């Protein structure tokens, strides 16, 4: 099973979800639900994690939270193990309760929290458990929508403050009621199944957390690498070599030095895996099959020529993520 990629830093926002093993119930009664909320509160205090919203369903839960320290994995692991131990003792059982690792989506900023809380709170409606959200006890919705008393650890100000000076609870109710029309637009900003935010946010995470080699066993890293703006990198590399890419596209006959530079650029792009051979060929005005020949030629040159290899390393440094 491919392992999840966790991006963690101080002040990071997350939408977290975990499901029961084999989709079995993780809450059998209200006492279990109370036990989970108590455990969540302990986790919040112990790991300095702010919890903004929650919903407890039969076989899964959702949390919306912020880690004030870069400790999402530690906090969620503690919560899962602690609740599982209490659940097992109470029900005289043993073994895993949750299905593998928890799932998390990293969120760009506070602006997304409002809509995410609506999504989380509407879970009982989507599951046809209730007809009115006000009738469902086991979510933070009544706290937001009616000002009911919630757990002491629940942080509501961050989201409610987005409604300005109006009656915030009423405004929140109206927001949730009309949310179904906005849900599709929210998930349009979900990228690679794990990042909710703008393209600029994805680039920022890529630059900060994929500075080294990409791990093949983590699919999200592979997807983010392919999402890089290759054309921007090619322009920078071409500038370093003082060459004009359009020359390769417009002329079939190029000088020997120009061919060396072209082949090095082709090889660097090919090595990143960002573009297909066909796309690389389009950029440099050569056929699909020519890319394979160029790659083999460059590989031979790198093995035999130190100066050639140094030039390659200088160019490839621009393509390293």
Using the predicted structure, report yes or no on whether residue 84 has a pLDDT greater than 90: yes
- Average pLDDT of the residues in 240-254: 76
Q: Which of 81, 38, 36, 43 is nearest to 60 (CA)?
A: 36
pLDDT tens-digit map of 41-58: 999 999 999 999 999 999
What whole-number distance in Å separates Cα of residue 17 and Cα of residue 61?
Answer: 6
Using the predicted structure, report yes or no on whether residue 155 has a pLDDT greater than 80: yes
Average pLDDT, the chain: 86
How far apart, in Å, are the Cα atoms of 195 and each of 168, 184, 203? 28, 16, 11
Burial of residue 33, with CB atoms counted within 10 A of its CB: 0-12 exposed, 13-18 middle, 19 or more buried: middle
Strand (E) or helix (H) holding 204: helix 199-209
What whole-number distance in Å separates Cα of residue 179 and Cα of residue 160?
Answer: 16
Tokens standing for residue 232: 């921007």
Q: Which residues pair with 139 in a beta bridge?
A: 55
Alpha carbons within 13 angstroms on the beta-carbon side of residue 86 total 19
pLDDT tens-digit map of 156-178: 999 999 998 889 999 999 999 88
pLDDT tens-digit map of 91-122: 999 999 999 889 999 999 999 999 999 999 99
Provide the 3-class DSSP secondary structure of residue 153. Answer: coil
Strand (E) or helix (H) holding 50: strand 49-56
What whole-number distance in Å separates Cα of residue 54 and Cα of residue 37?
Answer: 9
Q: What are the strands of the beta sheet with 103-107, ordered from one edge?
A: 49-56, 60-67, 12-19, 103-107, 195-196, 190-191
What whole-number distance in Å separates Cα of residue 220 and Cα of residue 176?
Answer: 31
Pairing of strands 49-56, 103-107: unpaired
Q: Are 11 and 67 in contact (CB under 8 A)?
A: yes
Phi, psi of 31 (to 5 degrees): -65, -40
- Average pLDDT of the residues in 225-230: 57
Name which of 9-23, 69-83, 198-212, 228-242 the model is least confident about. Answer: 228-242
Using the predicted structure, report yes or no on whether residue 312 has a pLDDT greater than 90: no
Phi, psi of 98 (to 5 degrees): -100, 155
Q: Which pLDDT score, from 0 to 100, does residue 1 have?
A: 47
Centre a 10 Å sphere on the Cβ of residue 42 and count the other Cβ atoms it contains: 15
Using the predicted structure, report yes or no on whether residue 305 has a pLDDT greater than 90: no
User: pLDDT confidence of 211, banded at 50, 70, 90?
Assistant: low
* Domains of the chain, CATH where assigned: 12-221 (3.30.70.1290), 228-316 (1.10.1750.10)
Q: Which pLDDT score, from 0 to 100, does residue 273 have?
A: 66
Q: Are 104 and 6 in contact (CB under 8 A)?
A: yes
What whole-number distance in Å separates Cα of residue 146 and Cα of residue 134?
Answer: 9
């Amino acid at each position: 099973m491919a392992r999840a990629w966790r991006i963690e830093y101080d002040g990071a926002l997350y939408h977290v979800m975990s499901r029961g093993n084999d989709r079995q119930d993780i809450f059998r009664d209200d006492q279990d639900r109370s036990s989970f909320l108590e455990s969540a509160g302990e986790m919040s205090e112990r790991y300095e994690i702010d919890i903004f919203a929650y919903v407890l369903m039969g076989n899964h839960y959702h949390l919306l939270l912020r880690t004030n320290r870069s400790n999402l994995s530690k906090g969620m692991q503690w919560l899962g193990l602690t609740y599982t131990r209490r659940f097992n003792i109470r029900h005289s059982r043993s073994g895993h309760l949750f299905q593998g690792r928890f799932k998390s989506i990293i969120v760009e900023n506070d602006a997304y929290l409002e809509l995410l809380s609506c999504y989380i709170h509407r879970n009982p409606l989507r599951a046809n458990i209730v007809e009115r959200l006000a009738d469902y006890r086991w979510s933070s919705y009544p706290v937001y929508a009616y000002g009911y008393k919630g757990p002491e650890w629940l942080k509501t100000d961050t989201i409610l403050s987005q409604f300005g000076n109006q009656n915030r609870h009423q405004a929140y109710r109206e927001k949730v009621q009309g949310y179904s029309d906005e849900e599709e637009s929210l998930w349009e900003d979900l990228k690679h199944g794990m990042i909710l935010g703008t393209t600029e946010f994805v680039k920022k995470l890529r630059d900060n957390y994929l500075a080294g080699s990409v791990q093949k066993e983590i699919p999200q890293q592979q997807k983010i690498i392919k999402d890089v703006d290759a054309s921007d990198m090619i322009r920078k590399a071409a500038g370093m070599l003082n060459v004009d890419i359009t020359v390769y596209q417009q002329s079939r006959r190029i000088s020997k030095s120009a061919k060396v530079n072209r082949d090095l650029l082709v090889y660097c792009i090919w090595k990143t895996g960002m573009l297909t051979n066909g796309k690389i060929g389009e950029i440099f005005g050569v056929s699909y099959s020519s890319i394979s020949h160029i790659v083999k030629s460059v590989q031979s040159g790198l093995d035999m020529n130190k100066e050639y290899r140094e030039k390659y390393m200088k160019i490839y440094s621009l393509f390293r993520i």
